[in-house]
Amino acid sequence: MTLLEGLLWLTLNIYHEARSEPQIGQIAVAHVTLNRAIQRNLSIKEVVTQPYQFSWTVKESYIPKNIPAFFQCLQSAYIALSDKDFTAGATHFHMQDIQPDWSVQLTYLNQYGSHKFYR
């Protein structure tokens, strides 16, 4: 996989998971994606497209409709790739108003925007 392909998949994941979040929340989602790739020794595309990992990947179209939001997510991806991980190694997240079964098995780390982050 090329660097540009990885950047595209990282940006798409941020866009579909956190485009309405503040930039810190978008960057935190990017770090989760990157941390999983490192931990599992997979490419970003492989991490994003693994079954049951990110719900947006079951959609028929991955093409962003909100172009300004897509470019904001691209900027967040670039920042995440350029800076240290401030999430303390987060590998999972969910919206604050739900409580998935898997969250009780992980360590809660912090909340950024409306997402809670875990390792």
- pLDDT value at position 25? 98
Tell me the pLDDT band of 21, cut-offs 50, 70 and 90: very high
SS3 label, residue 92: strand
Tell me the pLDDT band of 1, cut-offs 50, 70 and 90: low
SS3 label, residue 28: helix
**Domains in the chain, number:** 1
Residue 28 domain boundaries: 3-118
Answer with the residue of higher pLDDT: 42 or 3. 42
Distance of CA 48 to the CA centre of its chain: 8
